[in-house]
Every structure is written in structure tokens, then in C-alpha cells.
Amino acid sequence: MHEQEHHRGQRLPRAPRPWVLIAALACGGFGIGVSEFLVMGLLPQIAQDLLPGLLATRPDAALAASGGLASAYALGVVVGMVVTPALLRRLSERGTLIACASSMLVWTIATALAPTLGSALVLRFLAALTHASFIGVAALAAAHLLGGRSYGRGSALIHGGLAAANLLGVPALTALGAALDWRLALAGCAVFFAVPLLALLLCQPPPAPTGTVAPGGASLTGRLIALALAAIAVAGGGFAIVTFVAPVTAWTQGAGGWLTPPLAMLAFGVGMNAGNLAAGWGADRWPRAAFIGAAATGALGAGLMLVPGLGAVGAALGVACVGAMLGGGSPAAQVLFLRELPRWPRLAAALPSGAANLGSFLGSLIGGAALALSGAAAVPASALVLVAVGAVCFIALRGPGSWRGPGRGRGGPRGRAGAA
């Protein structure tokens, strides 16, 4: 990462071992995953603290209002995926990551200290503005530290932090917040943002390689929109099931099944980590195949959950397949977006997180409507429809070399936004 932030004659911090800095960046991804999903598990505690009167008289309304914290965060991610790269375009990769980690640290602590729900909503929105840019630029930085054009592997390592958060961090800090204080649990997430911040302040990463990514000929009215719609729809299919995993798994496994919601989420976390690992390592060579493979795995999982009375093992396998789809879709999408936007790599790197959050909103909305109108069986059916729509959009992506990753030349993307 080429640095222009120091004055001449100033002593630079020493360069770390690549895996030390990659681990610190993945720790930031872990913190993002924990802080994003932690709030969902602590809504009763948040409502009791910020809306005690409403909780006493209308508990459902109080929980729904507190759930706005999750919506505010998702909105911040979507807004930030475009705004933040534009605001930070003149900074180096290191400078961008420092700014993003600092922002998430400050606003997360501020949210934990918020006196009212209204102020907490605003602060959660602000905390989310640098979410997509941190994940995207950290993935680029990890790829550069690994050497050359390992964008799928770099993305897998950083997204692996988010996947690990669902498996380890969210359950642990949710239990802490329920037992002690939701503010303490949320403030604890700031520790994970402090790790990459300190690592970047103390260490000087090596310069980023220069080169090009083979362009895919994106246009705002064609391939890029098709890719974005595919990523949103596939993510929406996954989140339609995950959001309502309790009623769906209860219907699929039948009466007397042992698969409780916590165990179902454990299966989801295992699948998410496995999908992230597999797709991340394959996306550098075959990004389209990796994306299609992730979507097909999720469709298989949704199909399994359409079978009534399948049993707990079948339901767990279905949830794990959905997790593999969500875990594997992001690394593959990152490589594909980088190829479609070679001149704006930071914007391209931020788009997968934004698309996933749009998919989360869309999937929970459609899944909720399906559940309310037709029961639990309709949720995996709606997920299959969303994944099919994503597949159709993805098939519309045509062009030379479309099944392969970035060009073989060493180096990464370059351009105004990518100058680092």
C-alpha cells in the first residue's frame, strides 16, 4: 500500500509479518459481525432500558421499536457503501482502514452510552457508514499482503471474521449482555475495532502492487446492475430463512425434533464458515463458478426445508447449506465486482456488503410476509424464488472470460479510487 501520509524525514513504523496484519484486519471483521447481530439478540434488554413504559403496556410494540436499531444499521451500510468510498478516495489503503476502524470504534461506544432510543438509532446509523468500506478495503489489503491478485482468498479471510462472529462471538456476547448489561456487551465490540486500528498505527504495511484487473465491460445499465441484483436476490433468499429459522426448522423437523433455534444457528455458523472458506479459495480462479456453486448450495438447503417431517438432521443440513450460500457468496461477488469496476476498486470492494444488507432487508420482508400469509412452509419456498431470480440475473452476465477471475498479470486494480 503506497503511503503518502508521512512527511519527509519522518521515521516510518516497521513493516509487520503479513499474517499479523491480516489477523488484525480479520479481527475488525469479527467485531463488525458481532456488533451487527448482537443487537438482534438483546432486544428485550434494550427495550427494558430505553422504553420501559412502552414495554410494560405494549411489549410487542416496544420490541419492534427497539428492532429499529438493526434497520438503522442496515440502512447505514447501504448508504455508506457509496458515500464512504467517495469521501475517502484520496486516502491510501492504510489511511482508509484507519479512518474506518476509528469511526466504528467511536460510534459503537457512543451507541452503548446513548440515553434514548432516538439517539441510539442515529448513532447505529453512523457506526454502519464505514462497515462496507472496511470489509472491502481490508479484503484488498489482505490480497496485497498475500501477494498479487489473491482477491478471493483475501476476501475469504476478512469475511471469515464475520463468519466466525456468528459461530463464536455473537452467542458469547449475547449471553453476557443478557446476564449483565446490553451496553457492556455492545461496548465490548469496540475492542475488536481497536485491534486493527492499533496494528495499522504501529505497523507500516508493504506497498500495494500495481497492475490491472481484466475488465468485464460493466455498464450501469447492464452487467453491473445484473450482478448487483443477483447478489441481492441470492442474499435475500438466505436471510428469508435465517430470519425465521425457528418456525421453519420446527415445521421441517416435525414434532419431537431436537433441533432448537440455538442449535440451528450453530449449524448455520458452521455452514457459513465452510462456504466462505471453499468459495474464497476458488473465487480467484473461477469466480462465476464459485458464486453459482454457493447459490446452488443454498437452493439445495431451501429445498430440503420444504420437506415436512424430514427430521432434525435434515433440517440442520438445510440450515447449514443456507449458511454456506451466504458465506460463499461474498468472496465470489467481491472478485466479480472488482472485475466489473477495475477503475474503482474500493467501491467495487464495498458493494458485496451493501448488497448483502439489501438482501437481508428484502429477505426478511418477503419471508415475514410469506410466514404471515401461508405459514412456515412458504418461507423456504419464497427463498427458492429469490435464489432463482438471482440465478437468472447472474446468467445474464455474459462476456469473454466471464468464468475466470482477474487477469493473470501480477498486481491489483488501479485507478483514481484504487490509488493507494
- Asked which of 159-163, 208-212, 315-319 is least confident by mean pLDDT, the reply is 208-212
Nearest to 413 by CA among 216, 214, 228, 223: 214
* Third-level CATH fold of 223-395: Growth Hormone; Chain: A; (1.20.1250)
C-beta separation of 225 from 355 below 8 A = no
Determine the pLDDT at residue 214.
44
Of residues 351 and 67, the one with the higher pLDDT is: 351
Q: What is the pTM of this model?
A: 0.76
Q: 115-124 long-range CB contacts below 8 Å, 24 or more apart?
A: 116/50, 117/50, 117/51, 117/65, 117/66, 117/68, 117/69, 120/46, 120/50, 120/69, 121/68, 121/69, 121/72, 122/72, 124/39, 124/69, 124/72, 124/73, 124/76
Determine the pLDDT at residue 408.
40
pLDDT in tens, 12-37: 455 557 888 999 999 999 999 888 87
**18-202 against 223-395: fold identical:** yes
| Domain 18-202, CATH class in plain words | mainly alpha
Q: Which of 47-56, 152-161, 278-287, 297-306 has the highest mean pLDDT?
A: 297-306
The model's confidence at residue 117, banded by pLDDT at 50, 70 and 90, is very high
Residue tagged 489503503 (cell numbers): 93
Average pLDDT score over residue span 360-367: 85
Query: Could you tell me what percent of the chain has a pLDDT over 90?
Result: 37
Using CA atoms, how far apart are residues 29 and 195, in angstroms rounded to an integer? 11
Burial 110-140 (b: 16+ CB within 10 A, else e): bbbebeebeebbbbbbbbbbbbbbbbbbbbb
* Residue 263 CB contacts under 8 Å (≥ 6 apart), including other chains: 316
Average pLDDT score over residue span 244-255: 84
Q: Which of 70-79, 133-142, 344-353 has the highest mean pLDDT?
A: 133-142
Residue tagged 485491534 (cell numbers): 195
Quote the mean pLDDT of the chain: 83
Determine the pLDDT at residue 126.
97
pLDDT in tens, 193-236: 999 999 999 887 766 655 444 444 444 557 888 999 999 999 99
Of residues 412 and 99, the one with the higher pLDDT is: 99
Domain spans of the chain, in order of start: 18-202, 223-395
Determine the pLDDT at residue 4.
43
Whether residue 400 has pLDDT greater than 80: no
